[in-house]
Copies of this chain bind each other. A is one copy, B any other.
């Protein structure tokens, strides 16, 4: 039996613009998914706890349908889909196509909040399942296989960023298919606010695409986000939170211009800033979900906790560790 864990992530800079070849900087955060893999005779048993819904257990063998469950079916299908594909990767790696698994998933990362919970689960699951079969992959190999899983489960709508960031840890630079760790980044005191909701990523991406095709200034705005990322990279190593915060704030405004902010995201961004954060922005696809702020004090956290529409607020510093055996 092997337990592995992998971190969630926030986008410090560059979401949406990354779709058009601009660089982006996701950062791993100290919120993790833990996956335990135990080899069994045959089939796949999956136990999922705490993915924002009451724990559920799914048990099936190849060819069987899912049993009836009183939970949101799409969540179950997604959760099981990810595990199913992750286990397939492990079977392929170990050349053990018939290996059976019992998988237990636990996660501190709110599901569907844009914090990369599915990528973290997939990364941890591949690591745990391959180790359970006696094979040890490098983080880069795990990142690559986890990307393939997300690509498969999400019908071709996957970014390498989430899985790479979760496997490698730390701050990451993504530009097209090129992903690399940014070295020399110190502490990043992230505070996260979560409105309990989530935007429709496909719809949000399509909205930006439409604006960009219709208006030259929208294309320029996407380009300006790329410039913020390039500027941000040069500041990242310096611990100059004030400069970083200014860039976060600017990035947020440009995302708002592109139509991917929301009332609650803006309210949380302002709460964090007025609470004393050096800067704050929405993180991920937007339309709802999370904001990330930079704050060394407790000001932003407290302000967020008193903000109507903010369902959860927590500190989650940059996690320099990627996937690891527990």
Contacts and interface: CB of A to CB of B under 8 A. Distances in A.
A257 B263 contact: no
Contacts of A246: 211
A231 interface: yes
A101 interface: no
- 5 nearest A-B pairs in the assembled complex, by CB-CB distance: A253-B257, A263-B270, A253-B256, A217-B227, A217-B224
B257 A231 contact: no
Nearest to A264: B270
A62 to B, nearest CB: 47
A263 B253 contact: no
Contacts of A216: 227
A139 B225 CA distance: 44
Contacts of A249: 257, 259
23 contacts: A211-B246, A211-B250, A217-B225, A217-B227, A217-B228, A217-B231, A217-B250, A220-B223, A220-B224, A220-B227, A221-B221, A221-B254, A249-B259, A250-B257, A250-B258, A252-B256, A252-B257, A253-B259, A254-B254, A263-B270, A263-B271, A263-B274, A266-B266
A interface majority secondary structure = helix
A94 interface: no
Interface string A227-263: 1100100000000000000100111111111110111
Contacts of A263: 267, 270-271, 274
A218 interface: yes
A24 to B, nearest CB: 15
Q: Could you say which interface size class chain A belongs to?
A: 20 to 34
Interface in A158-197: none
A300 B158 CA distance: 38
| Copies of this polypeptide in the complex | 2
Nearest to A256: B253
Contacts of A254: 221, 253-254, 257
A253 B253 contact: yes
Contacts of A225: 217
Contacts of A231: 215, 217
A216 to B, nearest CB: 6
Interface string A100-130: 0000000000000000000000000000000
A126 B224 CA distance: 45
Given A254-B257, A257-B256, A221 B224 contact: yes
Contacts of A217: 224-225, 227-228, 231, 250
Contacts of A257: 249-254, 256-257
Contacts of A258: 250, 253
Interface string A45-74: 000000000000000000000000000000
A271 to B, nearest CB: 8
Nearest to A210: B246
